Amino acid sequence: MFYTPATELARSIRDREISAREVVQAHLDRIERVNPQVNAVVTLTAERALREAHAADERLMTGAYAGPLHGLPVAHKDTHETAGIRTTLGSPIFADHVPVRDELLIERMRAAGVITLGKTNVPEFAAGSHTFNPVFGPTRNPYDLGRSAGGSSGGAAAALACGMHPIADGSDMGGSLRNPASFCNVVGFRPSPGRVPSWPSVAPWSTMGVQGPMARTVADAALLLSVMAGPDSRDPISLETPGETFGRPLDRDLTGLRVAWAPDLGGRVPVEPVVNEVLGEAAKVFADLGCEVEEACPDLTGADEVFRTLRAWEFELKMGELADEHAGRLKQSLVHNIEFGRALTGPDVGKAEILHAALYQRVREFFERYDALLAPVSQVVPFAADLEYPDEVAGRPMIDYLEWMGSAYFISATGCPAISVPGGFTPEGAETPGLPVGLQIIGPHRSDLAVLQIAHAFEQATMHHTRRPAL
């Protein structure tokens, strides 16, 4: 049961072929068996979950169907506020923090029938794409326990890969939905800014950070997006398209689709050779599906400066006072980002916005010639869990803990929807198991449904998502 697709579980619960309590208990049993090895679920609310499952079954018997997620168990990302459940943000400062209300994302999921199992691990304040923190320690990759599960939604990705829950919520600024999905052979979708409204927020006009779904299949991610998406007056950039749009079947004929393949984003990022060996084969699948595939990439000039500047500005805005109040209690890489944000001048931010506007127009024009862009999600395969970040990629030294994620955060700066879908595995060696490699599929601005459809077609043609970790 713990690897049954969410779409199938939801239907079986709705049709009363299986009870929500049975589903929840099966996933709690799975957590008990495998979580000690990977450290993905860091706060568990088992008794509460079973009570909620019992209530969900009782409501269903009276015809009170909550919604498309009725009875599905989820452990929420530990940066998302959950009423009455500890939310630590991976920081000792918030180790005992218990919110009094759900944030909007959780509010929507619970209104649609989700049952909360607990919380999943994150890097400190979700900063960085490797999940470790001083409160709970590291989350380990289910395919090789000595390696990273990615981040910042690393606990969610590892839990999905291990069958601890069928769907998961996450967030993504520089790749936090996509990188861990790539590392753990699951699906992580970064929607268009405003597609999933966010509240509360101290920077509601920002388009860098978004929230979105993770799952083991594209259809399951779309199911969760159908609940997450839709307008809300509390978010000034929320899009008007109703969430139900994404709950429809994703089948689509890709014949004639114009697809660009950018193995190193036009030479802008170093990529380990083995990553593009795997993804080169993935790109060929699109030709087999009837697509016109050629190597091309939009001009991403300025994307690095845009992302780094606006990210630092937002980090200082959100955490500057916290860093002052709790000096010495934040990880050093996070402090450096906050200091960078404080050093920015008005003209610095203004220049970033000018570059951002020009980047948007160039990418828009690129997608007048192409329907989709393929690229690596991550420039590396999962690295050793005891590292903070890879210090070099393909022989090029990394200047900081961000640079190795450029293949993801350059795309964040464009504002385009992007998905990580299982793209294959590295060859197995005598001492090294095959490691997951994610394919990034990027679409024009606000083409979220098309990206999901394209990813679904690729997934069904390859079935890489069915390969499970040996736990």
Q: Which of 19, 91, 129, 176 is catalytic?
A: 176
Reduced 3-state DSSP string for 439-458: EEEECCCCCHHHHHHHHHHH
Distance in angstroms (rounded) separating the CA atoms of residues 441 and 419: 5
**How far apart are alpha carbons 303 and 454 in whole angstroms?**
25
Q: Does 176 participate in catalysis according to the annotation? A: yes
The residues that bridge with 210 in the sheet, in sequence order, are 172
Residue 438 near residue 378, CB atoms below 8 Å? yes
Measured at the alpha carbon of residue 358, what is the angle toward residues 353 and 361, in degrees to the nearest 5? 130
- Whether residue 158 contacts residue 170, with contact meaning beta carbons closer than 8 Å, is answered with no
In sequence order, what DSSP letters do the residues of 77-124 get, joined into one string? Answer: ETTS-BTTB---TT-GGGTT---SS--HHHHHHHHTT-EEEEEE--SG
In order, the DSSP letters of 1-23 are -TTS-HHHHHHHHHTTSS-HHHH
Query: Is position 412 annotated as part of the catalytic site?
Result: no
Q: Would residue 152 show up in a list of annotated catalytic residues for this protein?
A: yes
Exposed / middle / buried, residue 15 (Cβ in 10 Å: 0-12, 13-18, 19+): exposed
User: What spatial distance separates the first Cα and last Cα of the chain, rounded to whole Å?
Assistant: 15
How far is 13 from 132, CA to CA, in rounded Å? 35
Of 77, 182, 226, 378, the catalytic one is 77
Of these residues, 19, 91, 148, 152, which one is catalytic? 152
Q: Are strands 372-376 and 258-261 parallel, antiparallel or unpaired?
A: parallel
The answer to whether the beta carbons of residues 223 and 183 sit under 8 Å apart is: no
Strands 292-295 vs 258-261: parallel, antiparallel or unpaired: parallel
In this structure, the number of other CB atoms found within 10 A of the CB of residue 100 comes to 7
| Amino acid sitting at position 193 | P
- For the annotated catalytic residues, the residue numbers are 77, 152, 176
